[in-house]
């Protein structure tokens, strides 16, 4: 075979390995998310994603109780498709407002983790706002 045919074959093999790795990572994410939603049926779950082009990417899952106490904080951070979620047990039981005031506490040096946590908190706030709209909007709708 010519050199360019070997190069195309190698490219196809690398692409297939990457696709398989992405499939494994998505399956892991799906399993973790299903486990969380099955275990914590009340309260709110927020997810945030930071897509790093040249930096490491991050995914954050924040679970809070109905009274806005952190139940679970999970972060997946890295470049590899074999990266797994890390649980931050030291934040479980604290009010969401403490994490909202300083989302960089999970990854002070890593901007991606901070941005993913911010997005997760924003998603929780949006869900709560849909469920409990501000009083002035309730009065206008009536």
Domain map (residue ranges) of the chain: 3-141
pLDDT in tens, 2-26: 888 999 999 999 999 989 988 988 8
CA distance 124 to 126: 5
pLDDT in tens, 13-62: 999 998 998 898 889 889 998 999 888 888 899 999 998 777 788 889 99
Structure tokens, 104: 């960089």
Nearest to 80 by CA among 56, 49, 111, 115: 56
Nearest to 121 by CA among 60, 42, 55: 60
Which pTM value belongs to this model?
Answer: 0.78
CA distance 6 to 78: 31
Tell me the average pLDDT across 98-109.
75
Spell out the CATH class of 3-141.
alpha beta
């Amino acid at each position: 075979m010519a050199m360019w045919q070997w190069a195309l074959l190698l490219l196809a093999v690398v692409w297939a390995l990457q696709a398989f790795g992405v499939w494994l990572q998505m399956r892991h994410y799906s399993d973790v998310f299903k486990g969380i939603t099955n275990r914590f049926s009340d309260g709110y779950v927020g997810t945030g994603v930071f897509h790093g082009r040249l930096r490491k990417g991050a995914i954050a899952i924040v679970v809070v109780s109905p009274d806005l106490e952190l139940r679970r904080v999970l972060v997946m951070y890295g470049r590899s498709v074999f990266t797994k979620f890390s649980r931050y047990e030291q934040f479980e039981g604290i009010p969401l407002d403490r994490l909202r005031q300083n989302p960089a506490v999970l990854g002070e040096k890593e901007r991606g983790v901070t941005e993913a946590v911010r997005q997760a908190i924003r998603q929780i706030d949006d869900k709560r706002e849909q469920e409990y709209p501000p009083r002035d909007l309730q009065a206008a709708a009536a």
